């Protein structure tokens, strides 16, 4: 989806963001709906409803915390996917345009010099690898429910 938007609208920040958002939102919506439906069936939500709490109070106190906690792991995981997608678009020439620094475009520009100076190609590749690995580790912490300050 991001490739189609970037190619159709000529690259740039806005088409890439629109394409990535349109491709990621269904997974967030499905997960939020599944968590919300399972949370609404729990006893403490039913007790709050029977105690006379309003819908907004139940939403704020009982529904949003578990939904946001579970979605935070998906957000961290999708940030890594977005970084790889944006780098791939930059490598293909559909990403950000030359005054803007972009890892995929850097790799694309360094390909002709790979035989003479292969270490130069390692910089952007290592940056992508470390950033995506960090986002995956962060997603693992969120999925386990562990707090980062603990």
CA angle 54, 57, 59 (to 5 degrees): 105
pLDDT tens-digit map of 87-116: 988 888 878 777 888 899 899 999 999 888
pLDDT of residue 149: 46
pLDDT-derived band of residue 132, with 50, 70 and 90 as boundaries? very high
12's CB contacts (< 8 A; 6+ apart) are: 6, 96, 97
Determine the Cα–Cα distance for residues 84 and 132; give it in Å rounded to an integer: 8
Of the two residues 96 and 45, the one the predictor is more confident about is 45
User: What are the extents of the domains in the chain?
Assistant: 2-144
What percent of the chain stands above pLDDT 90?
17
Is residue 65 predicted with pLDDT exceeding 80? yes
pLDDT tens-digit map of 2-26: 777 777 877 678 888 888 888 888 9
How distant, in Å, are the alpha carbons of 2, 19, 43 from that of 12?
Answer: 11, 11, 49
Is residue 128 predicted with pLDDT exceeding 80? yes
């Amino acid at each position: 989806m991001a490739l189609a938007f970037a190619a159709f609208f000529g690259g740039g920040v806005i088409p890439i963001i629109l394409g990535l958002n349109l491709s990621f939102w269904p997974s967030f919506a499905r997960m939020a709906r599944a968590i919300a439906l399972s949370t609404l069936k729990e006893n403490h939500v039913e007790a709050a409803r029977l105690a006379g709490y309003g819908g907004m109070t139940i939403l704020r106190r009982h529904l949003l915390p578990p939904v946001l906690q579970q979605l935070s792991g998906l957000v961290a995981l999708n940030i890594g996917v977005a970084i790889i997608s944006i780098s791939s678009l930059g490598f293909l020439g559909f990403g950000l345009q030359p005054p803007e620094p972009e890892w995929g475009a850097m790799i694309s520009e360094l390909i002709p010099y790979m035989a003479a100076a292969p270490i130069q190609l390692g910089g952007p590749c290592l940056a992508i690898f470390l950033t995506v690995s960090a986002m995956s580790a962060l997603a693992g912490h969120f999925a386990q429910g562990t707090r980062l300050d603990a």
